[in-house]
Structure 1
Amino acid sequence: MNQHATLDAKLPEGKREASRRLFWKQVSRNRFLYMLLVPVAAYLLLFKYAPMAGEIIAFKNYRLADGIWGSPWVGFEQFGKLFSSKDFYVVLRNTLLLNLYHLIFAFPVPILLAILLNEVRIEWYKRTLQNLLYIPHFLSWIVLGSIVIALLSPSTGFVSFLMKGLGLEPIYFMADKFWWPVTFIASGIWKEAGFGTILYLAAMASIDPTLFEAAKMDGANKLRQIWHVTLPGIRSTIAILLILQVGRMMDVGFEQVYALRNPAVTSVAEVISTYVYTRGIVNLQYSYTTALGLFQSLIALILIVSVNRIIKALGERGLW
């Protein structure tokens, strides 16, 4: 609509009026399609934009009895407490490290799986594999976390049983500060990698089949076809999902960490989301954790804008 308004301003008055009439005619013609946007817009307004007014708590010493407007204004005092806290830097480090591990080890897995699935030519076998890969996505982290903990139990777990069979000492994966992040990333791949192939498979389906035929005629084997045709064909999808992933670098998520963590690994498992829950909800430090959330959102915004510009500078289409 902004582009339409810019072009409309450059037209003579008569053509401008005709352009406006045409625009509103198109809106009227597609009014039922626009009506479908109303629930989505209402959801965004009520649950995404309206709560942003509560960010003012970060600049107050909020107390439930006084309410938001009655609580005393303290300016940047909460941010001072935040940046002077040792816990904050531990939590920030854990959040960034887990997201970095996810970016390095988990992000490429759906791409690889999608390429492998795309090469399967037996249709019923391909559908069966896809369904099996999608199933973990629909399980809650409480269920999946319980399964992971049971599998990795040093006394009764299946993995420990295999290790004993090979003459190895069982490892308490869930209480070891080295193995807990490994378990965290591996369980995340297990849950989401299969479902993450959907967008890549859709992008592969839009690649012109004649490109593969031309590559084959030029003597390219299957690996060469994947490298020179398939990967360039899904490059824009990879770029957009990479931007979104980097935008989540400050947010590991709550459910997975909460389901898998325990007191023995707090030093590597406490992240921003669980820290906000512990300090904000349990200990009622609303202003302090709101300041942390505001800082988290600001850094995420900077990251997503920066990566979007880099992706566009490399010749790909960004988010905007």
Structure 2
Amino acid sequence: MTIPEPAPEPHLPKLLDGRLKIRHLVLIDALSRQGSVIGAAAELHVTQPVATRSLRDIENVLGVELYTRGPRGIVPTIFGEAFTEHARAVLAQLNQAGRHVVELTNADRGTVVVGTHLAGSNVLLPQAIARIKSDHPLLTVIVREGAPSTLLTELEAGRVDMIVGRLTAPSTPAITRIPLYEESVEVFAGAGHPLATTPHLELADVGDHQWILPGVETSLRGELEKIFTRCGIPLPAQRVEATSYLTVRELLRETQMLAVLPSLIGRSDAHLTPLAVDLSAINHSVGLTVAADRPFSPSARALTASLRRVADEELR
């Protein structure tokens, strides 16, 4: 009986032999976000041939194809998705290392970068920043607004330290989500809207009005679509899609449109009024989204503590 030869050991790419550069990791991050070599090259201020050559160099080092090319750009392969995740983790650690060195010189002069979307941006985050600035006046807080998916990419790459906003998914091995308080949503209109004094409204009563709906990339949009379907009415045909609170606010003030907003945001604005439409089925946690395996800098720890205090003392 012939004994089969053992399978050869898989060839491991040598990533520490000097061929792989930090600029290669930066390129992979940009390619996966931009979805095209042209877009990544423009972002990194290099020519397209330079970006293409660098990508080819990375693929040669790894021995696999990271992206498939098509008429509309590039799409990560399973290898590309995996390597992008690792590249962002390395970049995040390097970003944090540089900032940590600065903060060790003077912790009160550190910087914390926080991403935010609608929920939490009106009360929780501003109050937490006000508190931390009173204790650490020279600490810099940078706030970046964006769609949840965009901010999550920024978090993975270490360009933001944490995200403050609605928690729409459970924690994962890579991402930790920390609830701080529960918040409801309501239908809002501008003050003086004809329906403002109506004591009880069904969703069907307002379905044919002009609406401002959150973007399709948000989980709130999906929940609203489910509620409309459950009530047996179509999604409003007369609609605007917007996620910017300033845009939504001005449209509500200047028109008779309707919009769904977190209660804390809508009720704190004297120019808006809640309508008596029952949306109690939509309730969510607001809190922090952070990288599970990345320790906080002193500045990030200070802001986290401030956010917790505000949530405990003001919002629960």
- TM value normalised by structure 2: 0.22
If you compute each CA radius of gyration, which structure gives the higher value, 1 or 2? Answer: 1
- TM value normalised by structure 1: 0.22
